[in-house]
């Protein structure tokens, strides 16, 4: 998997991905948490029929949550293709995923429809174009739950209005190491943005990776939300780059030592936890972006961060593993991948 990472994105030294998600509900149906099994099946068929006329996209593949194993569901989550919440919806949850993995239609998650577009680097322009095209195509075939005053109606009041959640995943090692990340998070909160961990709401930051997204969906247009977030992200990119330059100038030996110590542990370690691996891989990604490690691409490090997650690791080996076995096989997988990147 991880097809969505293919290609060259903007500002990839700091921005890993751009995600846009639109929450939509269909008129005359109850919200997913109150639907019967029959209603859920009827709604799913209506959405699938609504997508048949979608002329904007490549082919999609359809999955029902109940047909997937726990490992398969979690692999989709670890690849950022579906939400952790959808993975729990065994009774009525399903999703359509585009062949290039850059667009997913989640069905009967918190809302009837969650349109997600995921792109590498910073690219709100293409992300919004794809999202809007899918949305327009569906709306031409399906009557959305919409209120003239409040906009699109959603299960959670915080999504009412545009229903748009735009977010970027950013890699901020130097801002974090200098202790400035908390000040930035506080500042973002004051202007209506939020900062979360690797897998969104309820998850913790790992490997200096953070998700920055809008909190407000009512009272601002989609264009205003995206413009504001894009402007803020550009400021953060500039701050992270200037902090990297400062640390290279003032603490060059310490940064170099940190990066190559991490590389050494990853190349020769025999047991490594997911959290430890993420931290060391984050340092190696920084080394790639700074040009200290010139035989690897930092995107390969991001792909490896996903490959070593628990479900993805077990999927690769096609077997269930204990925690101890995961840590052993994770270290082995990392060693093999680093050797292949060295050529």
C-alpha torsion sign, points 194, 205, 170, 96: negative
| Strand partners for 119 | 18
Rounded distance, CA 1 to CA 310, Å? Answer: 15
Rounded distance, CA 84 to CA 46, Å? Answer: 24
Fold (topology level) of 3-240: Creatine Kinase; Chain A, domain 2 (3.30.590)
- Domains in the chain: boundaries: 3-240, 252-342
Beta strands in the chain (DSSP E): 15-24, 60-64, 94-98, 103-107, 113-120, 146-147, 151-152, 164-171, 193-196, 209-214
Beta-sheet strand order (sheet of 193-196): 60-64, 94-98, 103-107, 113-120, 15-24, 164-171, 209-214, 193-196
pLDDT at 50: 87
The number of angstroms, rounded, from the C-alpha of 310 to the middle of its chain's C-alpha atoms is 17
pLDDT at 55: 45
| Strand partners for 208 | none
Kindly state the tokens that stand for 32: 């997913």
Output the CA angle 136-140-145, nearest 5 degrees. 85
pLDDT at 343: 67
- pLDDT averages per 10-residue partition of the chain, 343 residues: 87 97 95 92 92 67 96 96 95 94 96 97 97 92 92 91 95 94 93 80 73 89 95 97 96 96 97 96 97 92 95 93 96 96 80
Give the closest residue to 311 by CA, choosing from 119, 97, 90, 70.
70
């Amino acid at each position: 998997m991880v097809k969505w990472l293919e290609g060259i994105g903007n500002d990839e030294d700091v921005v890993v991905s751009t995600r846009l998600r639109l929450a939509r509900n269909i008129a005359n149906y109850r919200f997913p948490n109150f639907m019967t099994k029959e209603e859920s099946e009827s709604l799913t068929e209506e959405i699938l029929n609504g997508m048949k006329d979608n002329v904007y996209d490549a082919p999609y593949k359809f999955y029902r949550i109940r047909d997937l194993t726990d490992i398969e569901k979690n692999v989709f989550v670890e690849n950022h293709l579906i939400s952790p919440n959808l993975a729990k919806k065994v009774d009525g949850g399903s999703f359509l995923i585009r062949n290039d993995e850059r667009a997913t239609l989640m069905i009967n998650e918190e809302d009837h429809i969650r349109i997600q577009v995921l792109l590498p680097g910073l690219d709100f322009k293409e992300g919004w174009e794809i999202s809007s095209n899918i949305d327009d195509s569906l709306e031409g075939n399906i009557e959305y739950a919409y209120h003239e005053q409040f906009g699109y109606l959603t299960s959670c009041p915080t999504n009412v209005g545009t229903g748009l959640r735009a977010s970027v995943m950013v890699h901020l090692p130097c801002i974090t190491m200098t202790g400035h990340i908390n000040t930035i998070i506080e500042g973002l909160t004051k202007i209506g943005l939020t900062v979360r961990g690797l897998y969104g709401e309820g998850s913790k930051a790992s490997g200096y990776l953070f998700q920055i997204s809008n909190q407000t969906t009512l009272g601002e247009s989609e264009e205003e939300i995206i413009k504001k977030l894009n402007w803020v992200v550009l400021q953060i990119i500039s701050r992270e780059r200037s902090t990297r330059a400062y640390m290279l100038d003032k603490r060059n030996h310490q940064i170099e030592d940190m990066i190559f110590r991490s590389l050494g542990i990853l190349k020769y370690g025999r047991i490594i936890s997911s959290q430890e691996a993420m931290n060391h891989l984050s340092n190696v990604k920084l080394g790639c972006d700074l040009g200290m490690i010139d035989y690897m691409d930092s995107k390969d490090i991001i792909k490896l961060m996903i490959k070593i997650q628990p479900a993805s690791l077990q999927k690769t080996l096609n077997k269930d593993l204990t925690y101890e076995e995961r840590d052993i096989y994770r270290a082995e997988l990392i060693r093999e991948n680093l050797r292949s990147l060295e050529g």
